[in-house]
Amino acid sequence: MCRRLRPRRVVSVPIILLTAALCSPPTWRSLPAATGHHFAMDSRQTLQVEDTTSEENDSEVSRVKDALKYFDANFFNDSKVKEMMKGAKEFNIPVFRANRRLVASEDGGLHNPSVLLFNSSWGSNEAPYNNRKFNYSPLYGIKRPSSEEDIAFMSVLELGELIRTKQITSCELTDIFLRRLKRYNHVLEAVISFTEELARSQARKADELLAQGTYLGPLHGIPYGLKDIIAVPHYRTTWGSKTFKDQILDIEAWVYKRLKSAGAVLVAKLVSGSLAYDDIWFGGRTRNPWNIAEFSTGSSAGPAASTSAGMVPFAIGSETAGSITYPAARCGVTSLRPTFGTVGRSGVMSISESLDKLGPFCRSATDCALIIDAIRGKDPDDPSSRNVPLEDPFQVDIKKLTVGYLEDAEMEVVHVLSSKGVNCVPFKLNYTVESVQAILNFTMDVDMLSHFDKWQRSGHDDEYEAQDQWPVELRRARLIPAVDYLQAQRVRGKLIKEVRESFTVDAFIGNATDWERVCMGNLVGMPVIVVPTGFKSIEDPPKGGTWRRTTITTGIYAPPDHDHIALALAMAYQSATNHHKQRPPIDDLGPNDLVPIPGMKLLVHDFAAMD
């Protein structure tokens, strides 16, 4: 039975946490409890107030009242504050400590997921899950190119056909991409660990299976990379942080298991910004292959840069708030942020269990469809994952769709889709919630702090690679009361309801990196696919000319559980354009783009800046 606790002892947990931090050391000590509450794990202790003078007690009350100002909760009189202090010392703090011993002794959120689950589905009657694989059309007549460069920029579907028809082996393909990873990593700083031994073993197995007549599908023998927040046994999983740079987890992440069962070959653990924030990591800062003078953004910096540069055919990244969309847009690759819950996250460092998503970086929307088909499905160790009832994007009749376009949409996409029979109409997504960005920060920061409580308490935030990032946000998170965190989630629910009611089209097109939209989409659990739509000249190009470019992209958004619609529209657009097939100029640098690459001759061209 549950023992009922006296209400007067219950106070806001985060308020007292911060109160204890802001006040000078209180005059209490730990003594065995003769009566009162009992807790598991060294729980037969309670914090009791020592005898204090009235003056000392009044001073402590004053300090607590001052601290409450930072929670917008300074409306209690002295007698109520004394009651709160007593309840905190006798009840709250022992519970805090017992809970931390149980679930917060390790950082990263790999174990003990929250039971407060977020379900992004909009359907009151969810469509039945169809476990059938997508019915893609195989490519016939694909011939092996003569150059490794041309092979490196082939799509997954094309490479899969070369392997299936035995024009190339997985071992050969793996060698090509390992060479490219090593060749360009010095410039791009996109790789944390080469998984060469594992890759060669997996490639040999893929070739042996094919020789025996077993073909596992389009990912059979295809090399790829994983963002280094995804655990693979025997290799470092650093989370991009110097604190964890030697960490080896004896865990197989669910997404890695799925790709392994599909026959894919892991060639590298790719850069994550430190603790999945931006593009700065313990070994440097990842660069954009299209313009090496700028950085890739993050935190899926390595997956985006490596895919863009032809260092891997595809990679898996993650997003909590823009970590797929921003690097994809910066590096000019096609990438899918799927519906929340589509891909299981066990074995993956957690920021927020109601926001984190895994998704593919690819050469094309077709490849994104193939990858998401391989990795989707319920993960038994991730309570928030679902068998999302996606339909087959290869079977969608786009002529039956009505697609909205926002004011910031790339109109070429609208015109191309219109020419293919899509009904495109002006559109605006309306909602009244004004605090969207703050709600995302509240959610992300408090959740992240719960997963890295030990890290912060141990002072490791002082070692963090960029002091204006997580350290500031997570210290501020200590000031968010539990009540106001839950109020933010209620407002999030209001946002979801309003967005659902306003989403009167099958999909809409708009900027993929608008920050308000990034926050809204992640809070709602909405899928978006980022597609390259062109290029423009960089600002202040170096004298003498440069091949550097700024990529232009747009996003195609769909309601939760309707990723197939976004994928189908993106595939239709890319069938009529070739922006996604362009290659960044990492081998054709202008005269002022000198970047030293050991053992590699730099190609220097004398040309005027191109428009």
State how far the Cα of 212 lies from the Cα of 284, in Å rounded to an integer. 44
Long-range contacts of 465-474 (CB under 8 A, 24+ apart): 465/240, 465/241, 465/242, 465/274, 465/280, 465/281, 465/282, 466/274, 466/277, 466/278, 466/280, 469/274, 469/277, 469/278, 469/280, 470/274, 470/275, 470/277, 473/441, 473/445, 473/448, 474/445, 474/448, 474/449
How big is the CA angle at 325 (ends 497 and 486), to the nearest 5 degrees? 40
Peptide bond just before 299 cis, omega within 30 deg: yes
Structure tokens at 64: 């607590």
Structure tokens at 500: 């659902």
State how far the Cα of 514 lies from the Cα of 46, in Å rounded to an integer. 50
- Distance, first Cα to last Cα, the chain: 74
Q: Alpha-carbon torsion 199, 312, 469, 351, what sign?
A: negative
State how far the Cα of 187 lies from the Cα of 113, in Å rounded to an integer. 38
State how far the Cα of 268 lies from the Cα of 195, in Å rounded to an integer. 5
Q: Three-class SS of residue 557?
A: strand
Count the Cβ atoms, other than its own, within 10 Å of residue 536: 10
How big is the CA angle at 332 (ends 344 and 507), to the nearest 5 degrees? 60
State how far the Cα of 610 lies from the Cα of 403, in Å rounded to an integer. 35
Q: Which of 582, 573, 531 is nearest to 415 (CA)?
A: 573
Q: Give the residue numbers annotated as catalytic, written as ranges.
A: 227, 299, 323
